[in-house]
Amino acid sequence: MPTSLLPILLLVGSYLMGSIPFGYIVVRLLKGVDIRTLGSGNIGMTNVWRICGKGPGLAVFLLDVLKGAIPPLLASQWHLSSLYQVLAGLFAIIGHNYCVWLGFRGGKGIATSAGALIGIAPKVILPEFAVFFAVLLAFRYVSLASISIAIALPIWTALFYPHDSPRLFFSLAAGLLALYRHKPNMQRLRAGTEPRVPLRIPKRSAATASSVDDATSSDPSQSP
């Protein structure tokens, strides 16, 4: 294969890998419904957890992390420059946020961004998780915790990777993408209508179970 084609294949493949809507697929397989019509309408871990329980939610989180990690790791394995590693991670995040298979609708990109960090800036992963869980435990808003790590990402990157322009570019771009995708959450936080998560998240609430059953029974085409 001509080496000149590798960057193109990498970026196209990164976007398509990021576009795999694991949350949508898991809920469709387990419940026979479109997750975008339930809960927050998001295809990420939190909404899958609400609809299907802890196990499927964690599985979706790990799969979303994996699809963010593979592209920059492949770029490194192919001995492409750090810029292409960064672009591969960003294209995977964009694929998740704007999924070609779901009409260019998708998730918020937090788990996929965490995966991309594994391949691009692994030193910031632990500090980012520390910020996330500190904010989550203090305020019990997943969205606020996600917004906090989006803001903190460029700061950690500058501290752990000083003078590294490609990594700093990634941290700024990924952080801004996450903030943009959380604009509705910011509005609900300001209005005081953003739902909190309990310290111990139940497997499924009765209301969630009822909404899933109602959605399934009202639309025969949604049955498993």
From residue 220, give the alpha-carbon distance in Å to each of 30, 197, 207: 15, 32, 21
Q: Whole-model pTM? A: 0.86
Distance CA 222, CA 211 (A): 13
> What pLDDT does 91 receive?
98
pLDDT of residue 163: 93
Give the pLDDT confidence score for residue 207 in this predicted structure. Answer: 47
Residue 39 has a pLDDT of 87
Enter the tokens of residue 36: 């975008």
CA triple 35-87-9, angle to 5 deg: 85
| Residue 30 half-sphere exposure toward CB, CA atoms < 13 A | 19
Give pLDDT tens digits along the chain (224 positions). 556 789 999 999 999 999 999 999 999 999 999 999 998 899 999 899 989 999 999 999 999 999 999 999 999 999 999 999 999 999 999 999 999 999 999 999 999 999 999 999 999 999 999 999 999 999 999 999 999 999 999 999 999 999 999 999 999 999 999 999 999 999 999 999 998 887 654 444 444 445 445 544 444 333 33
